[in-house]
Amino acid sequence: MATTMTTNYFDPFDYVVLGSALIMSFCVGMYYSLNKHKTTEYLLAGGRNNSLFPTAASVMATTVSAVTILGLPAEVYSYGIQVFLIALVAFISVPISAHIFVPYFHPITLVSVYVVCSCS
């Protein structure tokens, strides 16, 4: 049985969705670039006055990246379901990190790892 290759193209609706996402991203960037808070501390750490939800959403977005979403199905297909043991380990490592490392590093108020490297 012969298979034929088909070429998929963007429909006009696809261009509208892509353009809308790019325009929204541009508008958010312009808003924060023209905002009165232009310090690095404010842009990277939110002025250190974020509530729980934005901080948790930021950590979640950092942890669950596009690479994870694209790579996890291939990992499960290649090596099996044991990759989900990572989630089991997270239940152990996250509370340990929250109670040991965060109280130590939070008062230092450094913005990034590069600042730590330049202080040494």
Domain boundaries, given as residue ranges, for the chain: 11-47, 50-79, 84-120
Give me the pLDDT at residue 17, please. 95
**What residues in the chain have per-residue pLDDT under 70?**
1-2, 36-38, 40, 43-44, 111-113, 119-120
Q: Is 39 helix (H, G, I), strand (E, B) or coil?
A: coil
Give me the pLDDT at residue 37, please. 66
The sign of the torsion formed by the CA atoms of 90, 58, 62, 40 equals: negative
* Other CB atoms within 10 A of residue 22 CB: 10
Name the residue type at position 26.
F
Distance CA(60)–CA(100), nearest Å, equals: 20
